[in-house]
């Protein structure tokens, strides 16, 4: 008998229910957000798919063999109380990659075409054309040059942007200049638009701060650099973003992630006309794609093949 799959996802439950129709057709699914599952015995079950699960999940499901993250990020999973010492698999899918790239490209174009400045003029009924640089005149530096970063880089390059990549360990990627930890200063000095796609680890917590922003290029046609972040909110210091925009260290910012989510109503970011805010929506998980991903990985494991997209717990991603 095939092991059931536990689903404990703090997603929209209508989407979860719709995605479960036809998913895991050959095994039982236990959706813990369904009222009838609250007292269910979870012993002897091999698999759990989680996103902000209940505090008692791992004490109830003591025999898990694999935990699947419901999203690309895993920092919140790694800190869950009682997380068992079993393989942890992150969600990797073309739907996530495509959505993230679309958001990154959109934000770079908004800043290139000075959308916020035109919006401010519109509100004042000012008709004035601004000097318009070309994409090829700016360098986009992407911090976090994995699957998401490389896909965004390829699309930005097609539009004419110069694109460079940074990661803790240097990656060789055809067509792109890349940097590692030792080359951070050189990377920053070339970057006019900084894109953050980093996982949250002890090394990346608070990395996007005033000290880093002051090392960005100020030679580009827009003058001060721009900061774009869709990685993790814990990697940025929001007080430093506010101060850097106010004193001209940064020209503007686009933020999809925040130190506290939802973004508190009292945050000054809400009222800053040089800041674009989206509610952690750059690359929302497609629940049906998530379940296909999990089913595929379970099939690999049960047929004797190794799991893919395993998280390195020591690295944090």
Cα 158 to Cα 83, 113, 153, 195, distances in angstroms: 42, 17, 9, 17
Domain boundaries, the chain: 5-91+285-302, 96-277
Distance of alpha carbon 108 from the chain centroid: 16
CATH of 5-91+285-302, one of 3.40.50.720, 1.10.1200.10, 3.40.50.2300, 1.10.357.10: 3.40.50.720
d(CA 14, CA 11): 9
Q: Which residues are catalytic?
A: 232, 280
Average of per-residue pLDDT values in the chain: 96
Residue 32's pLDDT band (cuts 50, 70, 90): very high
CATH, domain 96-277, list 3.40.50.20, 3.40.50.720, 2.30.40.10, 3.40.1390.20: 3.40.50.720
Token pair belonging to 150: 């490389």
Q: How many Å apart are CA 83 and CA 50, to the nearest integer?
A: 11
- Among 100, 115, 102, 107, smallest CA distance to 146 is for 100
Backbone angles phi, psi at 146, to 5 degrees: -90, -145
DSSP string, 188-204: HHH-SEEEE-PPP-TTT
Reading the block at residue 199, the tokens are 């996982």
Which tens digit of pLDDT belongs to each residue from 199-256? 999 999 999 999 999 999 999 999 999 999 999 999 999 999 999 999 999 999 999 9
CB 224 within 8 A of CB 249: yes
Within this chain, domains 5-91+285-302 and 96-277 share the same CATH topology: yes
Distance CA 241, CA 233 (A): 12
Q: What's the pLDDT at 38?
A: 80
């Amino acid at each position: 008998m095939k092991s059931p799959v536990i689903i404990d996802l703090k997603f929209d439950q209508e989407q979860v229910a719709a995605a479960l129709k036809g998913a895991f057709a050959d095994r039982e699914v236990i959706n813990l957000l369904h009222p009838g599952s609250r007292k269910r015995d979870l012993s002897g079950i091999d698999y759990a798919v989680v996103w902000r699960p209940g505090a008692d999940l791992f004490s109830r499901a003591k025999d898990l063999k694999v935990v699947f993250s419901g999203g690309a990020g895993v920092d919140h999973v790694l800190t869950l109380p009682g997380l068992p010492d079993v393989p942890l698999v992150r969600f990797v899918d073309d739907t996530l990659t495509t959505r993230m790239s679309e958001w990154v490209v959109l934000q770079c174009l908004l800043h290139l075409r000075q959308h916020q400045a035109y919006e401010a003029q519109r509100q004042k009924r000012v008709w004035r054309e601004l000097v318009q640089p070309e994409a090829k005149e700016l360098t986009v530096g992407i911090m976090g040059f994995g699957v998401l970063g490389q896909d965004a880089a390829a699309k930005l390059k097609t539009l004419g942007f110069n694109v460079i990549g940074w990661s803790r360990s240097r990656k060789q990627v055809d067509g792109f200049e890349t940097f590692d930890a030792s080359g951070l200063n050189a990377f920053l000095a070339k970057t006019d638009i900084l894109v953050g796609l980093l996982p949250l680890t002890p090394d990346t917590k608070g990395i996007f701060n005033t000290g880093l922003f002051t090392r960005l290029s100020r030679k580009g046609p827009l003058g001060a650099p721009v900061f774009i972040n869709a990685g993790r909110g814990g990697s940025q210091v929001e007080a430093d973003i506010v101060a850097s925009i106010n004193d001209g260290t940064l020209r503007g910012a686009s933020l999809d992630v925040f130190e506290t989510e939802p973004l508190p109503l009292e945050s000054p970011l809400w009222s800053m006309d040089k800041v674009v805010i989206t509610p952690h929506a750059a690359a929302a998980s497609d629940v049906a794609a998530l379940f296909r991903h999990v089913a595929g990985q379970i099939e690999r494991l049960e047929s004797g093949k190794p799991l893919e997209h395993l998280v390195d717990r020591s690295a944090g991603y």
